[in-house]
Chains A and B, each alone.
Chain A
Amino acid sequence: MAAEPMFSPSGERETKKERSLHTVAFLASIVLTILAFGAVVYAIEGGASAGFVVAFLVGLAVVQAAFQAYIWMHLKDEGHAVPQLFFYVGVYVTVVIVIGILLMSWWTVA
């Protein structure tokens, strides 16, 4: 063995900061979820158009997913350049596939 692996356990301050960040993300996710469900209840009662609610829902989902990825999955942290790159490529392919299949399965395009 060349050397014992080096690492540093998180300190008290760091942990406190992280813990409050994660708690905020958790609360924010709950708020976003309630907003999404609320919008749908509102729409069912005729308060908003379906098209608007769909766009709103997708927006909320993207924000909440970003919370998950950047904060909880530590994508924002240092040393995550490669994971970020592949995350973005994954998003690119995802968008291409969903839009492609959605537009080109039942109807002809133009």
Chain B
Amino acid sequence: MTTISVPVGGVRKKSLLWDYLTTVDHKKIAHLYFWTGLVYFLIGGLEALLIRTQLAVPLNHVLDGKAYNEVLAMHGTTMIFFVAMPLLFALMNAVVPLQIGARDLAFPFVNALSYWLYFFGALLTHVSFLTGDVPQGGWTGYFPLAHPDYTGYGMSYYAMGLQLSGLGTLLTGINFVATIVNHRAPGMTYMRMPLFTWTTLIASILTMFAFPPLTAGLFLMIYDQLFGGAAFDPAKGGNPIIWQHLFWIFGHPEVYIVALPAFGIFSEVIPVFSRKRLFGYPAMVVATALIAFFGFMVWVHHMFTVGLGPLANGVFGVATTIIAVPTGIKIFNWIFTMWGGKVRMTSAMLWSVGFIITFVMGGVTGVMMALPPADYQYHDTYFIVAHFHYVLIGGTVFSVFAGAYYWWPKMFGKLLNETLGKIHFWLFFIGFHLTFFIQHFLGLWGMQRRIFTYLPGQGFELPNLVSTIGAYTMALGVIVFAINIVYTFVKGKPAPADPWDGRTLEWATPTPVPEYNFARLPLIRGLDPFWLEKQAGNKTVPPAEPYADIHMPNPSILPFMMSLSLFIAGLGFIFKDQYHPSFLYLALFGVAATLLVMFLRSVIDDEGRHVPRELVEQEDAKGVSA
């Protein structure tokens, strides 16, 4: 096997841009996911503010009906696909390999490909703003609304964009499962894995099995929109209910894909800041697996009012309520972890405690809606809107903030400012409850969701105004977070390797983490390995191997090129109907370019490179941790 040695003293200096375009390092890909996700978070948040501004007073005209539908559809799509998942992938990429003692993911090249597919998928969806045909069919893309006859080609951008980023997500899921199965350090058994790794594993399994139905549905959607297909067209014998099934067979597990890693983050933060091991670790693992298992048999609860019949509704109603049991187990375990612990109310911990309160409320309304007769009352009202914002913001967004404050020092080498962090939390937390608590009642009072305005004199005025004020308060919180980030990068001091007195393996690595993560792979001797070693009087986790050359993957521009080619193909397919049939050639060019890049990847050998032992030893001596 050929060995390309890197000379001692480092590689040829590359520009930062080229470095990030070609990187296959999970830590840098984590940065890419994080910043891209944050940008889309701001865009999605801006859309939310537009929605709330429009609804602040009755008969408002900030947005007309069409613009409102566009902003609403893009808000939902962006927040789920281009914010929640990428931000969680950012944390997974940054942390999971470190937590299990791996040098990178199982497929670093594919990891880069996943990111660029997400990047170009999100970009493709947002190109719609330039062409004027913006998605208007909601993030659920129901037919016939998703057909060009009704909403133009906007939903084609949605379908193509999601197809691209969905492919990336699927590959990420496969990648993390393979990594966690194959790349655990010696002694890191399944039942010694930190909960964040566990939830990443199970969420990745869900991704693997939930995204294909969406892929199939999106293919059929694209066929119907751009190629004269008829799967969802009743005039040709099609059936729009099938789209609803495919979407929700994906859509419900998707909720757990973004919720389970969030649970994992809180399960890391709460023990550290309570100075106690996680209460009921095996129960937490089993509960996570159970949620995932039942998650595939509950999708019809999104379709109770379709009229699938009492038996279908009954079975899926019961299955849905069952999910409350493992979730309840988790809530109690977090509370018992804090019980009797030395609780430190850091920013990360504030988000965690705020999560428990908020998520319980969202969970309770979830059980209410799981009962089909009751759901007929709530369906398509603001009650639903309140519910899913309680679980998605209270769960996922809070977890991303908690994770950001907790892992920032490991990801970026600096500690975020705690005072600003607390201001951020309180503004966002109060603003959140102000916005969404009242929406439960708005729903019960009869306000429908997805309608761009309402009439005066129905008792909707004051609650809507309160909700809008809350939304702006949340926005203030996000601004404080942005200030905090800038402040930290400019003024922040370098963080120590283990700033929180951590328990898990990632805190045993030096900061900044070397490219190969571990100079020698660690030997894991129990759950919370770093904590165990510190308790035993050791400075760090013992190595499991002698120093040796470390095999690392080569950077590559091909993931970027492949995603770009698919992006061009996607645009071509839409433009051929939206503008001119000859854009078909552009699409075919994109497909051909994709295949060419794949061919290049196949025939050009890439055996990676080796970091020589001397360099590893030298660097290890410099950056001793703890």
Q: Determine whether A and B are in direct contact in the complex, meaning some CB atoms lie less than 8 angstroms apart.
A: yes
B309: chain A residues at CB < 8 Å are 104, 107-110
Q: Are A1 and B551 in contact (CB under 8 A)?
A: yes
User: Number of A residues contacting the other chain (C-beta, 8 Å)?
Assistant: 21
Q: Considering the chains assembled together, what is the distance between the CA atoms of A97 and B300 in angstroms? A: 12
Chain B residues whose C-beta falls within 8 Å of the C-beta of A2 in the assembled complex: 548-549, 551
Q: How far is the CA of A108 from the CA of B3 in the complex (A)?
A: 64
Asked if B526 CB lies within 8 Å of chain A CBs, one says no
- Enumerate B193-218 residues with CB–CB distance to A below 8 Å: 205, 208-209, 213
Which residue in B3, B209, B245 is a CB contact (below 8 Å) of A100? B245
Measured in the bound complex, the distance between the Cα atoms of B610 and A57 in whole Å is: 54
Whether B242 contacts A110 by the Cβ 8 Å rule is no
Q: Is A101 an interface position by the 8 A CB rule?
A: yes
Q: A1-B551, A93-B209 are in contact. Are A104 and B312 (CB under 8 A)?
A: yes
The answer to the question of B581 belonging to the interface, with a C-beta cut-off of 8 Å to chain A, is no
Q: Does A82 contact B (CB under 8 A)?
A: yes
- When A and B form their complex, what is the total count of cross-chain residue pairs whose Cβ atoms lie within 8 Å? 57
Q: Do B312 and A108 touch across chains, with their CB atoms under 8 A apart?
A: yes
Q: Which residue of B lies closest to A101 (CB)?
A: B245
User: Known contacts being A89-B205, A89-B209, A97-B213, is A109 close to B308, with CB within 8 Å?
Assistant: yes
B245→A104 contact, CB < 8 A: yes
Mask: chain B, 1-28; 1 = CB below 8 Å from A; 0 = not: 1010000000000000000000000000
A107→B307 CA distance, assembly (Å): 9
The answer to whether A105 and B245 have CB atoms under 8 Å apart is yes
Nearest B residue to A104, CB-CB: B308
Chain B residues with CB under 8 A of A82: 181
CB distance from A27 to the nearest CB of B (A): 33
Chain B residues within 8 Å of A86, by CB: 177, 205, 208
Q: How far is the CB of A84 from chain B (nearest CB, A)?
A: 12
- The residue of chain B having its C-beta at the shortest distance from the C-beta of A103 within the complex is B312
For residue B245, which residues in chain A have a CB less than 8 angstroms away from its CB? Answer: 100-101, 104-105
> In the bound complex, what is the Cα–Cα distance between A82 and B182 (angstroms)?
10
Interface check A35, CB cutoff 8 A: no
B239 within 8 A of A: yes
How far is A106 from B1 in the complex, measured between Cα atoms in Å?
A: 59
**Chain A residues, CB < 8 A from B249:** 96-97, 100
Q: Can you list, as one digit per residue, whether each of A13-49 has a CB less than 8 Å from chain B (1) or not (0)?
A: 0000000000000000000000000000000000000
| Residue A90 interfacial (CB < 8 Å) | yes
A91 CB to nearest chain B CB (Å): 11
B:171-187 near A, CB below 8 Å:
177, 181
Q: Give Cα distance in the complex from A80 to B494, angstroms.
A: 46
With a cutoff of 8 Å between Cβ atoms, the chain B residues found around residue A97 in the complex are 213, 249
A106 to chain B, nearest CB (A): 7
Cα(A110)–Cα(B314), bound, Å: 10
A110 to chain B, nearest CB (A): 3
Residue interface mask B515-554, A partner, CB < 8 A = 1: 0000000000000000000000000000000001101000
Answer yes or no: B282 CB below 8 A from chain A CBs. Answer: no
B207 → A minimal CB distance (Å): 12
Q: In whole angstroms, what is the CA distance A100 to B307 when docked?
A: 14
Contact of B300 among A4, A90, A104 (CB under 8 A): A104
Whether the Cβ atoms of A108 and B307 lie closer than 8 Å is: yes
B2 to chain A: closest residue by CB: A1
CB of B328 closer than 8 Å to a CB of A: no
B310 close to chain A: CB less than 8 A:
yes
Instruction: Assess whether B241 is in contact with A105, with CB atoms less than 8 Å apart.
Output: yes
Q: Which residue of B lies closest to A83 (CB)?
A: B181
Residue contact A1 to B241, C-beta cutoff 8 Å: no
Q: List 15 A-B contacts (CB under 8 A).
A: A2-B548, A2-B549, A86-B208, A96-B296, A97-B213, A100-B245, A100-B249, A100-B299, A101-B246, A105-B245, A106-B239, A108-B308, A109-B311, A110-B310, A110-B311
Q: Which residues of A contact B (CB under 8 A)?
A: 1-2, 4, 82, 86, 89-90, 92-93, 96-97, 100-101, 103-110
A89-B205, A97-B249 known, 4 other contacts, Cβ within 8 Å: A1-B551, A93-B209, A100-B245, A105-B245
Chain B positions within 8 Å of A, measured between CB atoms, are 1, 3, 177, 181, 205, 208-209, 213, 239, 241-242, 245-246, 249, 296-297, 299-300, 307-312, 548-549, 551, 610
